[in-house]
Every structure is written in structure tokens, then in C-alpha cells.
């Protein structure tokens, strides 16, 4: 197993909106099990406990993590909450999941969300294009910093 410093954490909801989660400390561990499975542990303020308790009820959800350096691109993951441990006004959240290739996964997740909303035909195509452009535009300032 290889352990890395977690430097960014965001939860992606079903509508593909990203919520950045401020945390005090965190680790991400590559289990090196041949199945691309990772563990993510984040130590954060207990104000986030209700959110993670709710996420714990789901079989999986999308997470974006930034590993080692804030200048690195975020990686997409599908994870499940394995445990939430209370610690003096803070919580430790342990999540386990799969690292997902970015390009393929983004398009699939956007399309799945739009189909789930019931969009079809031209409306589906227009909304797909708009959401993909929004995500590319949101990433562009990060790329220009390099």
C-alpha cells in the first residue's frame, strides 16, 4: 500500500454540483489490490457529520480528491463511507472506493444525471453540451496557473 497526503476534498452531488469540504488533515491510501481501490480518511469539523451520515446511507457517491499538491488535478472517485468516528468536536470519516479515469467518467456522469432528469433528444444534447462546457471552463483557470 502507498499513502499520500490529501490536500483537497469535494463531494459531487447527483446534479454534478461540487461542494468543497474544508478539512483539518487527511490521507489517501492506494490499496494496490489490482482493482484500483483506495481508502480516503479526512479529519474535519463535526459540523459535517450530518452530511456524511446521510452519505453513509448511500451505496456510493462521487468524490473528488486532490493528492499531495494543490496544483495537481483532482481525481474522481466513487466511494462509500465506511465509518464516522467522533473526536472532541471533530470527526474522522473513512471512505473506500474506486479511482475513476477522469475524461470518460465525467461525460458518463453528466449524461447519466441528465437522463435521470428525464431529458431526451435535442434538450438532452443541448444540456449535455452546456454542462460539459461549464466543467471545462471551470477547470481552465487552474490549467492556466501551471
Q: Are 39 and 31 in contact (CB under 8 A)?
A: yes
**Rounded CA gap, 113 and 117, in Å?**
6
**86 in the same domain as 141:** no
**Rounded CA gap, 49 and 38, in Å?**
22
What residues does 10 pair with on adjacent strands?
Answer: 20, 64
Q: What confidence score (pLDDT) does residue 82 get?
A: 98
Residue 15: pLDDT band (50, 70, 90) is: confident
Q: Are 90 and 47 in contact (CB under 8 A)?
A: no
**137 in the same domain as 87:** no
**69 in the same domain as 19:** yes
Note the pLDDT tens digit of each residue in 19-71: 999 999 999 999 998 888 999 999 999 999 999 999 999 999 999 999 999 99
**77 in the same domain as 133:** no
**140 in the same domain as 78:** no
C-alpha cell at 9: 476534498
**74 in the same domain as 124:** no
Global pTM? 0.70
Q: Are 49 and 81 in contact (CB under 8 A)?
A: no
**32 in the same domain as 16:** yes
**Rounded CA gap, 110 and 86, in Å?**
34
Q: What is the CATH number of the domain that holds 93?
A: 2.40.10
**92 in the same domain as 138:** no
**112 in the same domain as 81:** no
What residues does 3 pair with on adjacent strands?
Answer: 29
Q: What confidence score (pLDDT) does residue 100 get?
A: 82
Q: What confidence score (pLDDT) does residue 112 get?
A: 80
Report the number of distinct structural domains present in the chain. 2
Q: What confidence score (pLDDT) does residue 136 get?
A: 54
Q: Are 58 and 30 in contact (CB under 8 A)?
A: no
Flag whether pLDDT at 145 surpasses 50.
no
**Rounded CA gap, 47 and 123, in Å?**
39
**111 in the same domain as 88:** no
Question: The domain containing residue 109 runs over which residues?
Answer: 104-145
Amino acid at each position: 500500500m502507498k499513502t499520500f497526503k490529501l490536500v483537497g476534498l469535494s463531494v459531487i452531488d447527483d446534479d454534478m454540483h461540487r461542494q468543497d469540504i474544508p478539512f483539518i488533515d487527511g490521507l489517501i491510501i492506494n490499496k494496490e489490490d489490482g482493482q484500483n481501490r483506495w481508502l480516503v480518511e479526512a479529519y474535519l469539523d463535526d459540523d459535517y457529520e450530518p452530511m456524511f451520515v446521510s452519505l453513509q446511507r448511500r451505496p456510493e457517491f462521487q468524490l473528488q480528491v486532490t493528492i499531495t499538491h494543490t496544483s495537481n488535478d483532482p481525481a474522481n472517485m466513487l466511494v462509500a463511507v465506511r465509518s464516522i468516528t467522533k473526536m472532541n468536536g471533530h470527526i474522522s470519516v473513512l471512505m473506500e472506493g474506486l479511482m475513476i479515469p477522469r475524461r470518460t467518467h465525467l461525460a458518463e456522469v453528466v449524461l447519466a444525471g441528465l437522463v435521470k432528469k428525464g431529458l431526451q433528444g435535442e434538450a438532452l444534447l443541448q444540456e449535455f453540451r452546456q454542462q460539459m462546457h461549464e466543467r471545462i471552463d471551470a477547470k481552465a483557470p487552474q490549467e492556466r496557473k501551471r
